[in-house]
Structures are given as C-alpha cells and as structure tokens.
Amino acid sequence: MKDLMVALFALATGFTASGILANLYRLIVGEKREDNVARAAYVAVMVVAGPSVLLENAAAKLREKSCSRLAFWLAASISAYWSFAIGLFVLNLSLAL
C-alpha cells in the first residue's frame, strides 16, 4: 500500500511540475517565435512540460470529436507515465537536498 501511495504521489508531483512549467512558459513567451533559440528553448521546456500539454491537447480534440476515445486514453496513459518519470526525478532530487 505504501508503494502505491508513493507511485501516486510521484505521478501527481510530475504532473504538477509539468503544468507549472507549461504555464510559466506560456506567460513568459506569449506568442510563438520562429528563430533557432526560441525553438531550442521550446524543446527544452517541453521535455518537462510535455505531459500537461499532451493531455490538454488530447482533451480539446476529444471535445471537438476529432479523435476517438481510444486515442484520448492512449495520450492520457502516455502523459501519466511521462508524469510519473518526471515525478520520480523531482522526488529523488528533493530527497538528495
């Protein structure tokens, strides 16, 4: 039971970190730019912010009826696994400090 709670906490931690970074990036950058530095920064941010953005886009497509429920749940499961990995990294980093 303790392992399940740690796994769920890591999942929530990763998704929270992802959401915070995605929203900070949107606040700072605003509109998209097309130079190489902006593209490199976008890719670097999306390594951590990706789960939040992926789930947000999948939910929007499901509401528009432009994707199937299977595609949505596949995107949700990828987002959950990605968030879990980020959460484990954040928890490991916090325990090391």
Query: How many whole angstroms separate alpha carbon 12 and alpha carbon 47?
Result: 17
- pLDDT at residue 40 in the model: 85
Q: What is the pTM of this model?
A: 0.84
Query: How many whole angstroms separate alpha carbon 49 and alpha carbon 52?
Result: 6
CA separation, residue 90 to residues 14, 15, 52, 81, 93 (Å): 7, 11, 16, 14, 5
All structural domains of the chain with their residue ranges: 2-96
pLDDT tens digits, residue range 8-35? 999 999 999 999 999 998 888 877 777 8
pLDDT tens digits, residue range 45-77? 999 999 999 999 999 999 999 989 999 999 999
With the CA atoms of 63, 65, 69 and 71 taken in that order, what torsion angle do they form, in degrees rounded to the nearest 10? -100
Counting every residue, how long is the chain? 97
- pLDDT at residue 48 in the model: 92
